[in-house]
Amino acid sequence: MNFKERFLTAMNHEEPDRVPVMGLIMDPATVNEILHRRAVNFPGMLRQPLLRGAVRRLLNTNWFWNRMYWDNFSGALEASIQLGFDANWTIYAMMQLQPDPDSALGVVWHDAFGRVWEMGSDEKGNMSVNYTRALCDTEQAWEAWVERKAPLFDRLVANATVFHKRLVDEYGDRILPIGYAAPGIFENSWQAIGFVNFTKLVYEKPEFVRRVVEFHTELYLRYLEGVMESGVEVVLGGDDLGQKTGPLMRPSLIEKLYGESYRRVTDLVHRHGRKFVFHSCGRIYKFLDHFVDWGFDGIITMEPTAGMDLARVREQVGHDLVLIGNLDVSHLLVRGSREEVEAAVKKAIGDAARGGGYVLSAAHSHPFVDPQRLRWMVEAAHRYGRYPISI
């Protein structure tokens, strides 16, 4: 089988020739190390007063942003191919630099949805970003943002459509790009407002919250349409619904606020003949039955440091969901020994791969995941993942 046949066979809960392996490579630090590329140290340039204005203008130019973003994700696919992955996720985002005196750099990223992201870099100059706060902490601020940013939403969808199509056109004969529509409806709803404010508004202004959810549902469906125009066979979406100890909000409340939105998402994807995989970090056992009810085809992450045990998940959902992920990125794929990596791969395959419906991958991506350990993971999957499973 080739990479595409292998992955889609597993997505149909059938046994391919071997367990597929999916990459979650996206961080510039990982891409640059695998491809032996030097980082472009934009944060370092922004620290220099004489360069700050010019660099900011350049990064805020649509064509340059798209070129920079393309370079990273085309590099991610090249890196995944070199390591032997069958698939890798592809994510489009769009941000603009804005002055911020409280930031160490003096500037922060604002994304299209109303979030603030702080920018940093490692010792090699690789850029990283982290969500830090909301921009629309009141109903009035959110309404004004949505009205003012309407052209930006249109550009986001258009850019994402072109981005995913180009990746599929240029790399689809060597690896399976998994189109990732992110962030999701839940995160888009609360992160621009702030979690404390949002949870208060759920009870104090339920009509406003319904408007927020409906707005992001409609925008997300447009985004998904654009991703699927690329021809991707599998679409990845999702929201972090959990934290280390359990759900961020009661599952019954998530069902009330978002259940119909998630059903609309899967209905759209299935009408196009594609598969929909949902990403969520955290301890999410209490959501698994909801995922089946909402029509998801699979889930990705199953974060081991949040107590997600792959065998327990398989026992709970059977073959109602394809399972992707579960290899630890806090120690195992950062500094674990080769023996530890091989043992974890064998355990994952033994816990979830029989009968198909399992794709091996890291639980997540971050800049300190070590490429050599990713290579060990792939090699172990090739060695121990052949069907029929015998471990």
The predicted-structure confidence for 27-67, as pLDDT tens digits, reads as follows 999 999 999 999 999 999 999 999 999 999 999 999 999 99
Q: Ramachandran region of residue 143, left (φ > 0), alpha (ψ -120 to 50) or beta?
A: alpha
Residue 60 CB neighbour total at 10 angstroms: 13
For 145-167, how does the pLDDT look when each residue is reduced to its tens digit (9 = 90+)?
999 999 999 999 999 999 999 99
Task: For the chain, give the percent of residues with pLDDT over 90.
Answer: 99
Residue 49 CB neighbour total at 10 angstroms: 8
| Residue 141 binned pLDDT confidence (cut-offs 50, 70, 90) | very high
| Cβ atoms 326, 347 nearer than 8 A | no
Average pLDDT score over residue span 326-355: 98
Average pLDDT score over residue span 337-355: 98
Q: What is the phi/psi pair of residue 28, to 5°?
A: -55, -35
Task: Look at residue 31 and give its three-state secondary structure.
Answer: helix
Average pLDDT score over residue span 268-273: 98
pLDDT score recorded for residue 93:
95
| Residue 312 binned pLDDT confidence (cut-offs 50, 70, 90) | very high
CA distance 12 to 357: 7
pLDDT higher than 90, residue 351: yes
Tally of CA atoms within 13 A in the half-sphere of 123 that contains its CB: 1
pLDDT score recorded for residue 11:
98
For 207-244, how does the pLDDT look when each residue is reduced to its tens digit (9 = 90+)?
999 999 999 999 999 999 999 999 999 999 999 999 99
- C-alpha pair distances (Å), 2 with each of 9, 39, 84: 11, 33, 12
CA distance 75 to 28: 9
Handedness of CA 194, 157, 292, 322 (dihedral sign): negative
Domain 3-39+70-94+138-384: which CATH number of 3.30.390.30, 3.40.50.970, 3.40.120.10, 3.20.20.210: 3.20.20.210
pLDDT higher than 90, residue 104: no
Strands in the chain per DSSP E: 21-23, 87-91, 95-99, 107-111, 115-121, 127-134, 176-180, 234-238, 242-243, 246-247, 275-280, 298-301, 322-325, 358-361
pLDDT score recorded for residue 4:
98
CA distance 205 to 217: 19
Strand partners, 361: 22
CA distance 264 to 250: 21
pLDDT higher than 90, residue 329: yes
CA distance 149 to 166: 26
CA distance 137 to 134: 6
Residues 6+ apart with CB under 8 A from 210: 257
CA distance 96 to 111: 6
